[in-house]
Each structure stands twice: as structure tokens, then as C-alpha cells.
Structure 1
Amino acid sequence: MNILFMGPPGAGKGTQAEYIVNEFHIPHISTGDAFRAAMSQGTPMGVEAKGYVDKGLLVPDEITNGIVRERLAQPDCNAGFLLDGFPRTLQQAESLDGMMTELEKKIDVVFNLVVDRSLLLARLTGRRICKSCGATYHVMFNPPQHEGVCDKCSGELYQRSDDTEEKVGTRLDEYSSKTAPLLDYYRNKGVLKEVNGEQDIQLVTAEISSILRGLGE
């Protein structure tokens, strides 16, 4: 089962990806992990990427595509994979199609977790972190016993600078503008499955599981 996972920041992709990986015994491939592995292993594409990273430059698409292809060609992907964070553009999606043809694979399903913007803002701006021990809380979903105070060490809780409403809103706008064409691309291919990410976690998992088991029949 070859799966693409899409959804905005805060949609809960990480939780659902963990379930899929454990239930279906396939590797979870993120572009960040693939980059780090390629560079540490000194693969041809990893060496090229490191040259750009060391200079503080953006890695060109052709190298990003090459690193993803190297990863998808590894033996642990023979039974399937969960790809997260790629593609991000139509050009990358078209390149992925080419990789799949070369590797004699195909994308079976593309999941998109759908969550209202206001809820995403609440999820992403509610995180609080202890300055002393690093414990993480959420004002809505996992609040401390006393506001602003860590339960574990009584340290002061703070909000990260990139968790502010303004910065989170910018991230969501950027994601939406870049992703809309991709959703149409996969919708037209008939492989897009949109899942209500506002449900309880267990219900989201159950819906994803039902779709995957239906595909496997």
C-alpha cells in the first residue's frame, strides 16, 4: 500500500501516520528524515544536498526529487510506504509519478485531513512549554493544573515565537495556496480521500482504516 499523507499544520497527521505505520507495517517517510539519512550515509544525492545546505542555500527540486527516489527504491518500501511532506508542488507531483513508473509502483491513495482554519489556529497557538524542564502543555487539550505553571517542576510556561496567531496564520495561508492545486491534481486522478480531521482521534483513525482495508480487498 503506497500512501500519500496531506493536511495542514495541526491537522493531526503525525498521530494518524503512527497508526498506519504500526498497523500496516510500512515505513513512514518524511522529506526531512530522508534528507538527513541521505546526507549522513553519503549517498550521491545526499552529497549534493549537503553542499547546498552547508552554504545555507535552498536545495533544488531535482536533488529533492532524487533523494525521495533513492529512499523509495530501498527494500523496506517494497511492501508499501507512507510519504509525508512530499510532493509540495505540482512539479514535484509530476516527478513523483515518474518515479513510480520507473520503480513499477503506483500511489494507491492520497489522504487529506480537513480541519477548519479556526480550529487549526486554536490547536497550534495553544501550545505552552516549560522554560525549566521542557514539558509541553496545551491550553485546550492538556492544560497545566495552574495557569502558566509547570506541573512537573513549577517552572514558567511560555509560548514559542512561531506559535503566535500571526505566524501560524502565515503558515496556514502558505500551505493552503500551495496545496490547493495538488488536491485537484490527485482528485482528478481518483485517488484523493478527504477525511474529517475535526472528529475524535479514534474516529479519524477508524475512517482511515476503513478506507485502507477497502482498498486492500
Structure 2
Amino acid sequence: MTPPLRIIILGAPGSGKGTQTSRLLKKIPTIKALSSGDILRSQIQLGTHIGKEASSYIKNGKLVPDSTMVSLITQELKSHNWLHNDASWLLDGFPRTGIQAESLDKVLNNSNCGINLALELDVDQKVILERIEARWVHVPSGRVYNIDYNPPKVPFRDDITGEPLSKRDDDTAEVFQKRLDQYNKELGPLKDFYSKKGVLHTISGNTSDIIFPKLMDVIGKQI
């Protein structure tokens, strides 16, 4: 019997975590996924208390407080009934700090289902900033386009609906550099935490097509 996979994907903002997650879910459909970014954006769109709080941090290139993120993700894991031994799932973009990792670990230990793969996407951050400047989104669906390598069929219009595309508030080089600086500051303790558990794997590359085969190779050894 194939053991359950409980994966976290680490990586700087803009490193392609969402893209890798989408490709992985197509290859292994038994894995379910949660994106911390998607959850936060949903809360912001709904205008919830957490959404308003998160929005003020994100617009200034700051991380949402650890306690808020831990509460959100724990709530999502419970609501999906993933805190049981035979569930296979992936967290995209969480945890982002050592404190978040420790808090998640406590939640999982209480349910006897720990993380067995922590995959770090190592992408040149100059490349990330170039991507961000060229990134546009269709807000209602979450579809993402890149003017340089994944452009919409009609400039600045969504392929499916024809509606106009938008720039996210934090998709500027200035704001994004702050996010990268914050990520770099937190990365050491986060990697140390999962390295000590023996589950950390670093996957380097600047494009999805380079990273994905390496990612699948690591996962394949766990199946």
C-alpha cells in the first residue's frame, strides 16, 4: 500500500509554487492541496476581518502574522478532514517561518500525521523580480498570465471570459523586493527545522520545466 504523502512546498514569493502544485496534482490526483495565498486572497475578497488585516500587511510587502496564518491553515485542514493518517495532501506557501513550522508540527503530532516531504524551490531572485513585473491576473478566477512567456491571447484580457486583467497590489518590484527580503530572513530557521527532521530537499532551477522533473524524482522515491 502506498504511504500517504504530506508535502510542503517552500520557496520565495514568485518562485512558481502554484505552478508546480498544479502540475503535481495532474500527475498524482490522489493528492489534495491548500494554497495559503489562495486562502488569504479569498478572505480579502470576502472582506472578512482576517482578510482586511492580511490586506494591510500584504500591500506593504509584509508577512501576515504567524498566529493568523497558523489559525487559518489549521482551520482549513480540519474542515477538509485531512488530519487523519491515510490522507495525502500538500501545503503551498505555508509554513513561511520557523514559528509557523513548529506550530504546524504540534497540530500534526496531535493527529499522528507529520510532514514527510519539505520541497524547497530554489529560483534566482533576479528572475523572480522580472516575472513579477510581467505578471497579470484575472481576479475572479485566479488565472495568472505572464506577458513575457505565458501571455493572454488578447493583450491584457482573460482567455476564457475576455474580462480585463489586473495587477495585484503587491506585484511591483519595490513591494516584492520587501517580500523577498523578509523571506530570505526567515528561510534559515525554516530550512533548519525540516533538515533536522530529515525531510528537506532543495530543487534548483529557473523554469518550471527544469524544476518539475526534479520534483517528481524526489516524490517518486517516497511512493
The TM-score with structure 1 as length reference comes to 0.71
**Residue identity opposite 1:205 in structure 2:** F
Deviates more, 1:12-21 or 1:70-79: 70-79
**Residue identity opposite 1:20 in structure 2:** L
- Return the offset for 1:116: 0.9
Cα deviation digits, residues 57-107 of structure 1 (max 9, x gap)? 888745643443343344356421101222222222111111121111111
Report what 2:186 is aligned to: 178
Report what 2:161 is aligned to: none
- Return the offset for 1:137: 5.3
- The within-5 A match list for 1:3-18 is 3-18=7-22
Distance 1:5 1:117 in 2: 17
Distance 1:15 1:103 in 2: 29
Report what 2:61 is aligned to: none
CA RMSD of aligned residues (A): 3.8
Pick aligned residue for 1:207 from 196, 204, 214: 214
What SS is found at the alignment partner of 1:107?
A: coil
Distance 2:147 2:182 in 1: 25
Report what 2:60 is aligned to: none
Q: Count how many residue pairs are aligned between Structure 1 and Structure 2.
A: 196
Pick aligned residue for 2:205 from 186, 197, 212: 197
Given the alignment of the two structures, is residue 27 of structure 1 paired with residue 35 of structure 2, yes or no? no
Rate the CA distance shift 1:160–1:90 in 2: closer, same or farther, 3 A: closer
- Return the offset for 1:120: 0.9
Which of 1 and 2 has higher RCO (CA within 8 Å, sep 6+)? 2
**Residue identity opposite 2:196 in structure 1:** N
Identity of aligned residues (%): 33
Q: Which of the pair has more CA radius of gyration?
A: 1
**Residue identity opposite 1:75 in structure 2:** N
- Please say if residues 157 and 165 of structure 2, whose CA atoms lie closer than 8 Å, have aligned partners that are also in contact: no
Distance 2:175 2:92 in 1: 22
Cα deviation digits, residues 126-154 of structure 1 (max 9, x gap)? 23579xxxx975343145899xx6589xx
- Please say if residues 135 and 147 of structure 2, whose CA atoms lie closer than 8 Å, have aligned partners that are also in contact: yes
**Residue identity opposite 2:173 in structure 1:** E
